Structure 1
Amino acid sequence: MNTTSSIYSKKGRNNRNLILADVIGSEIEAFDIGTNALFKAALFSNIKSGSEDISDVFLSLLKKSLAANSKISPYRLFSFLSYHYFKKKFIVTALEEIKKTRSNWLLMQCNVTELSGLDSKSSHFYFSHLEKRIFEEYVTGWIDAQFALEKEFKKVRKKFLLSLLKKYFNFLLFWCFIFIAIYIGLHITSKENSLTMWQQLKGWINFLLQRLY
């Protein structure tokens, strides 16, 4: 039974990978699928190669991802703390954007005279080759392009954590003082009653639990 479930699970993952690969089209082998998706979305949004405007594309996709998946508030927190978790959600949003913008972009890039007389199979090959050629040239405009998605994620995460710190600074400071006061109190009393700080803390917890129950 476990073997059967494992087989179906593996087939499901393989099918999903095939679907993702089909949507994203040509890829740069040195990049992961998330980074390929970011650059494809930027290309189809007519962002110039090497431009810092790729950050705008990233933020736009991030907002759409959060809007689609943030009904449960913890998602926002996990999205900004875990790159691996964030990337899984980001890829879905990026691929949806790629599907919506690819056709118009390809029509703008193609040469109508080259298309005339081609059957559907030849046309598909023509567009695939055109996209592959332009995409491979496009990504060369960025330094360390293979880390582009992770860099954008880290920039946003830093801003997010700083905003959280500013928002809850007084709250965190208050509890820091509380813990420091408890530590000092336990340290002083441990010298007087020959009990370790942990023993005293355990005694207080047991006392509170007895009172509560």
Structure 2
Amino acid sequence: MNTSFDINSKKSQMQATITSDILGSEVEAFDIGTNALFKIALYVGVPSGSSDVDDVFLDILKKSLTQSSKISYQRFFTLLSFHYFKKRFVPQAICEVKLLRTGWLLTQCNVADLSGLDSKAAQHYFNTLEQKVFVDYIAGWSSLNNWLELEFQKVRKKFLFSLLKKYSNFILFWCLILLAIFIGLHITSKENSLTMWEQIQGWFGFITQRLH
């Protein structure tokens, strides 16, 4: 009974000693987004070297996108621009690390090792433990350089294909209209000795005069 109480008491102390150092010991060669992504994959139990890390990436991305409406320009540019993507993805990933890190550390540590440690020593213990496990974990992938950008490029390609598929009829309609205008201008340019650009300028001039 006392042993159980001591363990629970020690766990409470452990939770208090884990600071807000959200990413713990990072791998310096990685950017903060890549570190956060693979920390989350580690915390949720994705096997080292597994392609399931793609699912973790998509889950974080979806959560970051839900913060804006479906028609928001920010949502649109997030899926097209890596700069906008990072501005939304990284804060969400850091938030996920905050939620998962403490619980994961509690499952990995040995309560007996913390006996007699003060707050600073306990924090050093947790950081050392996390760094060791994390370095071994990421060794399962051959290369993680630019991983975040590569994941983004895959998502962007799928997004662009989905847009083309969804609005294919609309795009085809306007392409046909533009083609018809081009052919018409080409024919009339031969008849009235005006270039296509001169005809377009004339149209704009006529329209602006009518509007005024």
Using the size of structure 1 for normalisation, the TM-score is 0.86
Q: Helix, strand or coil: the match of 2:26? A: coil
**Greater CA radius of gyration, 1 or 2?**
2
Aligned to 1:54: 53
Q: Return the letter of the residue paired with 1:98.
A: V
What's the RMSD between the two structures over aligned residues? 1.5
Cα deviation for residue 71 of structure 1 reads: 6.8
The superposition leaves residues 167-186 of structure 1 with CA deviations (integer Å, 9 ceiling, x where unpaired) of: 10010001111111111111
Quick check: 1:200 aligned with 2:192?
Answer: no
1:1-213 mapped onto 2 (5 Å cutoff): 22-70=21-69, 73-213=72-212
Q: Helix, strand or coil: the match of 1:23? A: coil
Q: Give runs of ≥4 in structure 1 deviating > 2 Å.
A: 69-72
Q: Return the letter of the residue paired with 1:190.
A: S
Cα deviation for residue 72 of structure 1 reads: 5.9
Whole-angstrom distance in 2 between the partners of 1:150 and 1:30: 15
Structure 1 residues without counterparts, runs of 5 or longer? 1-20
Aligned to 1:10: none
Cα deviation for residue 159 of structure 1 reads: 1.2
Whole-angstrom distance in 2 between the partners of 1:71 and 1:194: 49
Cα deviation for residue 23 of structure 1 reads: 2.3
Using the size of structure 2 for normalisation, the TM-score is 0.86
Q: Helix, strand or coil: the match of 1:157? A: helix
* Cα 1:178/1:79, change in 2 over 3 Å: same
What is the number of residues matched between the two proteins? 193
Whole-angstrom distance in 1 between the partners of 2:115 and 2:157: 51
Q: Return the letter of the residue paired with 1:104.
A: G
Structure 2 residues without counterparts, runs of 5 or longer? 1-19
Q: Helix, strand or coil: the match of 1:144? A: coil
The superposition leaves residues 19-41 of structure 1 with CA deviations (integer Å, 9 ceiling, x where unpaired) of: xx942222112211111111111
Q: Return the letter of the residue paired with 2:57.
A: F
Cα deviation for residue 148 of structure 1 reads: 2.0
The superposition leaves residues 49-94 of structure 1 with CA deviations (integer Å, 9 ceiling, x where unpaired) of: 1111111111111111011234761112101111121012100000
Whole-angstrom distance in 2 between the partners of 1:190 and 1:140: 66
Q: Helix, strand or coil: the match of 1:69? A: coil
Whole-angstrom distance in 2 between the partners of 1:67 and 1:22: 26
Whole-angstrom distance in 1 between the partners of 2:48 and 2:32: 19
* Cα 1:196/1:151, change in 2 over 3 Å: same
Contact (CA 8 Å) 2:22, 2:101: kept in 1 or not?
A: no
Cα deviation for residue 114 of structure 1 reads: 1.0
